[in-house]
Structures are given as structure tokens and as C-alpha cells.
């Protein structure tokens, strides 16, 4: 029968058997500090914005618009319209002015009444001797007799104030009518003369008492 050879290992036996190396201890792995991890995660991440500019597309140059071409008929029609406007607008403005003055005259005339008493000065150069006269008993003299009679002097008294104010307003209307430009327009001239005659007739009626 055969015999099994038992092999035993003896440390430091001096035999030629190989020595086993002592086991190497691994250093325990260190888990990260929770406080450090918390601090790192608590800090916000700073973002950097980088502006990006997109170049706008260049617009192609537009060719110049061709000048419009007009026919002779169109040019003649345009000239006719311009001539009408140059004539019509000043005429319209002038006639509008005259009508406004005429309305003012009608308002003054309808709102005026002769004072019940008018004061006359016995001497044109003196206002010391004043005579008050009831207008209801007075009658204007015929034009033929007015040439032989000196016009009475109307002093600026309380009784004569409405008469002087009315005469002054009528004179202002005549000045405004003279200032309306006719521009050589026949319609404007005739219309202005018509209103001037009306105002002048009222002035003459008032001056018969003076």
C-alpha cells in the first residue's frame, strides 16, 4: 500500500519552502464629510450669459421710383383746378367776412333805440349851456332845410351816451368793410358796396339828430 505524504508548513523552519506574505490591510475608504457635501450643494451655480447677436439681413437697395408721366389733358385739368382754388378760396373768405359784418350790423340796429331825452349844447364851442329835449316831440328836418341850419352839438352827457356809442359802432363797421380785400373780384366788390350802403344809411339817420 502506498503512503500519503503529508506536507506541513513550518515558519522559519530553515527549509527551502517558500514563505507566504502577510496579508495586506486595505485602508478604510473615507466617505465624504456630510457637512462638506452640504456646503458644496448649498452654493448656487453662477451662470454666465453670453450675448449672441444675429446680424440683420441687409435689405436690397430699392430702385428709384420713376417720375409719373402726365398727359397734356391731365396737366390742363390740374391747372384749371388750381386756378379755381386760387380764385374761389379768397372769394369765399371775403364774402364770409362781409356776411359776418352784416350780421353784426343787424344786431346793433335791432338793439338800438333813441334815448327818450337828448341833450343839446346851445353853443358848439361850449357845453355849459345844455338843453334837454324830449325826442318824442322832435322831427328831423327835410334835407333841403338842413343846409341852412347849423347842426346842433351833442355833448357827451349821460343822456347822449347811447347815441354816441351807436354812431361809433357804425363807424367801426364801415372801417371793417373797407378792410375786406376784394382781389379784383366783382362779386366781392358788389357785396361789399351793398352792405356799406346799408350801414351808411343808418349813420345818416343818426346824424340827422346831431
Does 52 reside within a domain? no
Residues spanned by the domain of 106: 72-207
Express each pLDDT in 148-183 by its tens digit.
Answer: 666 678 888 999 999 999 999 999 999 999 999 988
- Give pLDDT tens digits for 66-112: 777 778 777 777 777 777 666 678 888 999 999 999 999 999 999 99
Question: Does 58 have pLDDT greater than 50?
Answer: yes
14-24 pLDDT, tens digit per residue, is 445 555 555 55
> Is residue 104 assigned to a domain?
yes
d(CA 116, CA 159): 8
Q: Residue 9: pLDDT above 50?
A: no
Q: Is residue 118 part of a domain?
A: yes
Does 20 map to a domain?
no
pLDDT of residue 66: 74
Residue 47 lies in a domain: no
**CA distances (Å), 84 to each of 18, 75, 89, 134, 165, in order?**
134, 14, 8, 57, 42
Domain contains 121: yes
Q: Following DSSP, what letter does each residue of 95-129 receive, concatenated?
A: HHHHHHHHHHHHHHHHH----SEEEEEEETTEEEE
Q: Does 38 fall in a domain?
A: no
Predicted confidence at residue 167, as pLDDT, reads: 94
pLDDT at 158: 92
> What pTM did the predictor assign?
0.56
Provide the number of structural domains found in the chain.
Answer: 1
With contact defined as beta carbons under 8 Å apart, do 206 and 115 qualify?
no
CA distance 93 to 84: 14
> Can you give the pLDDT at residue 72?
78
pLDDT at 26 over 70: no
Amino acid at each position: 500500500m502506498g503512503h500519503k505524504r503529508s506536507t506541513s508548513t513550518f515558519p522559519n523552519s530553515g527549509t527551502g519552502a517558500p514563505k507566504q506574505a502577510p496579508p495586506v490591510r486595505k485602508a478604510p475608504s473615507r466617505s465624504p464629510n456630510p457637512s462638506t457635501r452640504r456646503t458644496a450643494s448649498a452654493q448656487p451655480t453662477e451662470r454666465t450669459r453670453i450675448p449672441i447677436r444675429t446680424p440683420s439681413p441687409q435689405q436690397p437697395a430699392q430702385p428709384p421710383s420713376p417720375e409719373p408721366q402726365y398727359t397734356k389733358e391731365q396737366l390742363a385739368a390740374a391747372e384749371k383746378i388750381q386756378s379755381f382754388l386760387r380764385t374761389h378760396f379768397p372769394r369765399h373768405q371775403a364774402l364770409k367776412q362781409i356776411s359776418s359784418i352784416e350780421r353784426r350790423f343787424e344786431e346793433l340796429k335791432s338793439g338800438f333805440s333813441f334815448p327818450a331825452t337828448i341833450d343839446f349844447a346851445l353853443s358848439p364851442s361850449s357845453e355849459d349851456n345844455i338843453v334837454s329835449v324830449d325826442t318824442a316831440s322832435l322831427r328831423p328836418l327835410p334835407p333841403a332845410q338842413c343846409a341852412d341850419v347849423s347842426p346842433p352839438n351833442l355833448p357827451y352827457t349821460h343822456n347822449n351816451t347811447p347815441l354816441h356809442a351807436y354812431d361809433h359802432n357804425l363807424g367801426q363797421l364801415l372801417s371793417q368793410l373797407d378792410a375786406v380785400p376784394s382781389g379784383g373780384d366783382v362779386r366781392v366788390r358788389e357785396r361789399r358796396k351793398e352792405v356799406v350802403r346799408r350801414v351808411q344809411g343808418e349813420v345818416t339817420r343818426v346824424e340827422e339828430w346831431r
